[in-house]
Copies of this chain bind each other. A is one copy, B any other.
Amino acid sequence: MPSRARVTLTRESVLDAAAELVRRHGPAALTMRRLAAELGTAVTSIYWHVGGREALLDALVERTMTGLGEIRPSGRTPEHRVVSIASSLRRQLRGHPHLVALVHERGLTERMFLPAQQALVREAHAAGLRGARAAEFVRAVQFQVVGHVLVERNRERAPAQNPGEAELWRAGTAGDDPALARALARPVDTERLFETTVRALVRCLLTARGTGPAGHGTVRGR
């Protein structure tokens, strides 16, 4: 009260500072001591407001995730609308690159997809899928989108692979298909790849007619 050189410390202000630290320098830069320095307080004050580092990260992930915004499907057919849901989620996650790492580290990748699930269920229903079939469709899209984002983010921060695709496909390993070798030596256009694969997956799963999902494994599913 007397000095007021700083904003009064609250749970919110701690989370703000933490989020800013992560945004600017990545998750590794978020140490309790550095955060305290940024806030101009003693390290131990943070423990009073948000608990330890684990709790802090939990709260941070939670807050960022709820702020991600609505999923608004667009397009006329279910196929287009599902692709738009997937693209929209991907775009949102790419807008918070460090969040993806944070969420992954904390074993919460599944949570990243929860807000999109309802939207997907609606599209599955619109496409005539119900029950377990619809559930499988939702899960398939979920795994593919989240998985793609994880791989994409990962490769973005790994500039020099060793040995990378470029070297692997320089020699005559391509079975007399130089165009293929050239294509594989080039960096991936991940956005295009994302749309292509999601579209292919959706098309196949939504139009799969007949006796349910393709049989699998040793006996015969369902």
Contact = CB atoms under 8 A, between A and B. Distances in A.
Contact of A139 (B114, B188, B204, B213): B188
A: interface residue count bin: 35 or more
B199 A201 contact: no
Q: How many copies of this kind of chain does the complex include?
A: 2
A144 B146 CA distance: 10
Contacts of A135: 180, 183-184
Given A125-B177, A155-B109, A165-B114, A214 B199 contact: yes
Interface in A167-184: 168, 173-175, 177, 179-180, 183-184
A164 B184 CA distance: 39
A136 B183 CA distance: 8
Contacts of A144: 144, 147-148, 197
A17 to B, nearest CB: 25
Interface string A135-160: 11011100110111111101101100
A158 B214 contact: no
A168 B130 contact: no
A218 to B, nearest CB: 11
A200 interface: yes
Interface stretch (A7-15, A33-41, A116-124): A116-124
